[in-house]
Structure 1
Amino acid sequence: MNLFQLRAFDAVAREGSFTRAAARLFISQPAVTGHIKALEEHYQITLLRRTARRVELTEEGMKLASITRAMFGLVDEAQVLLEANRQLLTGRLEVAADGPHRVMPMLASLRERFPGVTVNLRLGNAQETLAALLSEHVDVAVLTEVEPRKGLTLRALQTSRICALVPASHPWLALAQGVDIAQLHDIIMVLREPNSITRRTFDGACDNAGVKPRVLLELDSREAVTEAVAAQLGVGIVSSAEVSYDPRVGAVPINGSGLINQHMLGCLERRAELRLIKAFMELAL
């Protein structure tokens, strides 16, 4: 079955004219005539009656027209959908992030620029976020302290600093310059799990400075750390990029080396030129 022939027949059936059908398809009138003639001869069937003034469908032509109208109607719908996606009027973007604070302003910018695009956001720790990107479960990811690797496109976003999280009544909050990392020696602390990027950065800085805090609790979320600090179970740590207002606690900068984290936006290199991914990367940066 030749779809070009069917498309020509469908155009004539819709327009009732070979001339208008040719204009609809952006081909010549003889080409339309040739396609339909070949279709009729191949299947030994008369689909159209041609008169001096008009083109009429035969009974078999009307039956075929009902089929081609539905068939090419779906093709036209597919064309509209794909064209809308190409112009970023619609589409779906899968995003992963190792925290909500950096990614939310990016999503707000995307929504403002392309309101028809739907976003699915997946939050997790640093390892989960990177794994989701590398396994192609997401299109783009907001990452922290990721080493460059083959096949991965990374763009620097911002840096953040490790801060101490203390109860609202803690005297450190009155220190404009923050606290030195040495002041955390032998201090009771409540920290994230050892695989947390924030925890790893903090532990590395403590090792370099010869500081050994007393870790009372290890918790698996920022929210849990905040609740533990609010309950005065110990001093916590938090990235400066993730400090949220909470009247029960406050963040104090920690002074020392090795307390800076680099945040990045990443996608797979072979997908970096896809229109929606490229647009998000440009907006975010």
Structure 2
Amino acid sequence: MNLFQLRAFDAVAREGSFTRAAARLFISQPAVTGHVKALEEHYQITLLRRTARRVELTEEGTKLAAITRAMFGLVDEAQVMLEANRQLLTGRLEVAADGPHLVMPLLARLREQYPGVTVNLRLGNAQETLTALLGEHVDVAVLTEVEPRKGLTLRQIAESRICALVPANHPWSALKQDLDIAQLVNVIMVLREPTSITRRTFDLACKTAGVTPRVLLELDSREAVSEAVAAQLGIGIVSSVEVSHDPRVKALPIKGEGLINTHMLGCLERRADLRLIDAFMTMAQ
């Protein structure tokens, strides 16, 4: 059995791309393709299905990926153990986050302390970020309102508050105090999709307060909500950590129960002692 071929397959399975797999392994894309092709031909099996947008695992590929992920995970742990006494000068950290606002300052501090460390950052929604961490596609993840679970190490890094986003010329923009959630009864609003953590927190707070806003638009990004508010299509909702410096809109903290979100940094418990992961977790806290 050729371990180079298995390593190449494992990288493609993790990254969903031959190009990103090559970058992960620091070899050329043709080399990765050749290793995977040789593995499939030797065992007369189809492990990957190439589509126009990405590479997908076949049923057999999914089974093998579960094995190689565990196998090379142990290899990585052995390497870290053997190098435990060396100064942390180089390395690669895979990071996922459900938004850029909290993770970017952390990465800046990491670069300042460990300039030789390379970071691969994945941004996605809350579910995608948690799935990437649990599936061992990343080493650490910045998560919002994640439930504690066995095998997951979590450290709180911040709290945020739900804010209303109004046009700069809206009468509420002159308010000197927090906006009461009761003021949003029957107000036309433009909100994130229902699966968004910010939207879910806001909906639950509205239900608790007996408030029923009128939702005109549901949008799939913070930027789209900001643009809709600037166009005066309605009042938006945004987390206090995501407030942009846009002169066309203004964020107003909302007063009410259940409008606070907790942000955590997480890693798999069994990998928490790995040198680079431990350094990042410690630095962040």
TM superposition score normalised by structure 1:
0.70
Partner residue in 1 for 2:263:
263
Partner residue in 1 for 2:131:
131
Partner residue in 2 for 1:223:
223
* 8 Å Cα contact 1:90/1:118 also seen in 2: yes
- Write the mapping of 1:157-236 to structure 2, written as runs, cut at 5 A: 157-236=157-236
Partner residue in 1 for 2:254:
254
The AA in structure 2 aligned to 1:252 is L
Distance 2:106 2:86 in 1: 21
* 8 Å Cα contact 2:154/2:266 also seen in 1: yes
Partner residue in 2 for 1:76:
none
- Write the mapping of 1:5-20 to structure 2, written as runs, cut at 5 A: none
Q: Give 1:153 deviation, angstroms.
A: 0.2
Q: Give 1:241 deviation, angstroms.
A: 1.1
Distance 1:159 1:267 in 2: 19
- Structure 1 SS opposite 2:104: helix
**Consecutive unaligned residues in structure 2, runs of 5 or more:** 1-78
Partner residue in 2 for 1:21:
none
**Consecutive unaligned residues in structure 1, runs of 5 or more:** 1-78
Distance 1:85 1:185 in 2: 60
Distance 1:127 1:197 in 2: 9
Q: Give 1:86 deviation, angstroms.
A: 4.4
Distance 1:118 1:170 in 2: 45
Partner residue in 2 for 1:119:
119
Aligned length, in residue pairs = 205
- Structure 2 SS opposite 1:190: strand
- Structure 2 SS opposite 1:166: strand
Superposed CA RMSD: 1.5
1:14-37 CA-to-partner distances (Å, cap 9, x unmatched) read xxxxxxxxxxxxxxxxxxxxxxxx
* 8 Å Cα contact 1:94/1:137 also seen in 2: yes
Distance 1:275 1:83 in 2: 9
- Write the mapping of 1:17-166 to structure 2, written as runs, cut at 5 A: 86-166=86-166
Indicate the larger mover: 166-175 or 263-272: 166-175
Q: Equivalent pairs: percent with the same residue?
A: 81
* 8 Å Cα contact 2:185/2:211 also seen in 1: yes
Distance 2:272 2:87 in 1: 17
The AA in structure 2 aligned to 1:128 is E
Structure 1 moving runs of 4+ over 6 Å: none
Q: Give 1:85 deviation, angstroms.
A: 9.8
1:273 matched to 2:273? The reply is yes
Distance 1:262 1:172 in 2: 27
Distance 1:281 1:261 in 2: 20
Q: Give 1:87 deviation, angstroms.
A: 2.1
- Structure 1 SS opposite 2:89: coil
1:138-161 CA-to-partner distances (Å, cap 9, x unmatched) read 000000000000000000111110
TM superposition score normalised by structure 2:
0.70
Partner residue in 1 for 2:242:
242
Distance 1:133 1:194, change over 3 A: same
Partner residue in 2 for 1:48:
none
Distance 2:267 2:248 in 1: 38
1:14-72 CA-to-partner distances (Å, cap 9, x unmatched) read xxxxxxxxxxxxxxxxxxxxxxxxxxxxxxxxxxxxxxxxxxxxxxxxxxxxxxxxxxx
Distance 2:267 2:188 in 1: 39
Distance 2:95 2:240 in 1: 22
